[in-house]
Amino acid sequence: MASTDAKQPPRPLTAGEKRDGNPSWSPDGTWLAFTSGRSEKKGETTLHVMPIGSSGEIRTIATMPDGVGSVRWSPNGKLIAFTSRTQDERYTKDDESWMSPRKIETFFTRLNGEDFVFDRPQHIYIVPSDGTAAPRNITPGTHEHSGPSWLADSSGVVTSGALHESWDDDLANDLHLVKLDGAITTLTDQRGVYYAPSVSPDGTRVAFVGSDDPLTSPQNDHVGVLEIKTKKA
């Protein structure tokens, strides 16, 4: 941690041999969430919260088998949203010889540095910040979601993802409003590539990055703004 006036040198908040990252402040500034590799099981990522400015222990609120990213506190401070890959049951096998064959039906199946991704799509999870319940997947299924940004009333998040049937052909990527009960409303119309949503403080608009032509590459992305209720760009 470092002071904004630069009068004090930075000081470490965590220590040890395990990697820590993705720090995210609670809305009231009294807690800091961060990810780590503190699990005893290889490949697992842990999500923790630690008190800032008061005494208390670091609390582990989630342990995920395939990474944790995009850590975001809800405005009311009660929930934390994050991304993680949801593995097919084949990944629970200790030996590849026991894994079931893959059935590939889409063009995009692997990523550099990630290996196969179609059978371990990235989803949005939410977990109580006090650790009283296990993480819950609010975007289950075969499609990927990324970039959660909370609504002002903490009732859901805006994400980006390609949820339509022709996604691997037309390459379009849309913005979606995902409520905490899993109900999804698509905010854009499958004509561009839109990502990195950021909901305005009053919850009426969402800013994002993208372009209107998904089949032209490379091209410059631009910042857009969408009214969440009217869907008017």
CATH number for position 182: 2.40.128
Range of the domain at 188: 66-227
In a domain, 70, yes or no: yes
In a domain, 96, yes or no: yes
**Amino acid at the residue 146:** S
In a domain, 41, yes or no: no
Distance in angstroms (rounded) separating the CA atoms of residues 127 and 49: 12
Mean pLDDT of 213-225: 92
Question: Is the per-residue pLDDT at 232 higher than 80?
Answer: no
- Give the dihedral of Cα atoms 209, 212, 216, 220; nearest 10 deg: -40
Total domain count, the chain: 1
In a domain, 18, yes or no: no
Residue % of the chain over a pLDDT of 90: 66
Encode pLDDT of 155-199 as tens digits.
999 999 999 988 888 999 999 999 999 999 999 988 899 999 999
In a domain, 125, yes or no: yes
In a domain, 185, yes or no: yes
Encode pLDDT of 93-112 as tens digits.
777 677 778 888 888 888 88
Distance in angstroms (rounded) separating the CA atoms of residues 161 and 199: 16
Cis bond upstream, residue 218 (ω within 30): yes
In a domain, 145, yes or no: yes
Mean pLDDT of 116-142: 95
- 106 DSSP 8-state letter: S
In a domain, 121, yes or no: yes
Encode pLDDT of 43-55 as tens digits.
899 999 999 988 8
